[in-house]
Structure 1
Amino acid sequence: MQNSWFKLIFLISLVFLSCKKNSENNSSVTLNAIVVDYATRQPIPGLTIHIVSGGFRLHFFSDPWDIRFADTITTSIPAINYITDDSITTNGLGHFSAQFTPQFLEGMYTFPRFFTKVDTLIRVSSKSPLWGSDDTNTDTVYLDKRSLLVINMQKLSPVFSNDTVFQNVTFLDAQFSPQYSIPSLKGQIGLANRTITNEFSYTFFKKADIEWRYYRNGLQKSHRDTVVLHQGVNNINITF
């Protein structure tokens, strides 16, 4: 009897999930937004906006220096193989409209995300990371001139294969308050030199909190400092 109830509940669950998946897959939504210059608040006409879809998995953790969440990439945005990538050009008033169909893949639903591939521009968003990857209800996309924070790390003493150096950057807004962003550990393993480039909006961010830690069979050195940013390229040298 217990096995029969279990089979019945299992079959009902399968039917429910199947219907939900099919309804989600076939339910197209219309995305409407305007692209605006963050500094001037003026619309940006004739700009190509990319609408990508992906699962955007989230990581929740209590210790931002947990190296399980670290990586050794050297740019702000890692290369991501999106499931779809559609592009559309804004009209004379900076508006664009497109259709998006959510999909259920690998145990999660896909969400739309807006961005531009223009190298001189960067998207500005003060959203919490809980919502920053879903643009389903976004009505305004803010873009700003891209500035760079370039961190050059160099080890002065001989390099060992188990040398590990990680640095973490938290950008601060005009009120010098940390933004709601998941810390991004980047670093080097067994290397003498490493250059890490972080993209940011100078209109939105004015300072950066930089912390680095050097490990070899345990923590050897660490340092934390806050630097004032300027528009364009900011070079920071770290030696250890």
Structure 2
Amino acid sequence: MDLTEANFQREISALKRAGEALLAKNNAIESQLSCLQEENERLKVKVFQLDEENRKLEAAFKIHVENMDWEYDATDPPSDSYWEDQGYVDYEVQFINEDFFRKAKEQSEKLRRGTFGLGSAAEVLQYGDPEYDGLSLIRHDHTMCSHWREFCLAMKTWNFSSVRGTIERTIPYSLSICNVELSANVLNMLRECIKPGGIGYVEELDLTRNNLQCSDGINLTLQLKSCSHRQR
């Protein structure tokens, strides 16, 4: 091999090494670019989540301000002896106090104060446990009426709040009422609360062991279920 050919081969080898180095550098840049693009997408998702959270908090604050003067205006629950005189035993009286009267007030306050719907998952408004059937039916009583009214008004106020335009999407929630007898009047109030539209909507409706009091109770229940976005 003469000198000229040897020089040519060295130049070819040098060019190959330079090309390989350039290719490796290009691959590294592409890998870095891919990582940057993935990070950019993650940041976009995070920004969207933070923006949505901010919108929720903004709406919650406005709802809270709207209800600054609100007070839970329901009669005091009767004494335990009131229910015992009607034949309820201790654990049933406890259910009435804890799973109806206490929850009616707590859930009404949560709806009115703007703290409902702030979580990432669908929230639940619940009376009783649908999975537990060892409890006797709690009959409708006139002492419950003002508490049902406060709860339904709170739910309706939250659903149709004027601040709903500040949230990009509606907030789904579930409504579950178990082991509590529902009168026609209560069903009517509930039906007015869960009509589609507004800041939130009922994603799941569960009415279990309610012993509807009147002949049109079934029709009202069907209308309630038709308003929900997903039937159980």
When normalised by structure 2's length, the TM-score is: 0.26
Q: Bigger relative contact order, structure 1 or 2, given CA contacts below 8 A and separation 6+?
A: 1
When normalised by structure 1's length, the TM-score is: 0.25
Greater Cα radius of gyration, structure 1 or 2? 2
- Which of the pair is proportionally richer in strand? 1
- Which of the pair is proportionally richer in helix? 2
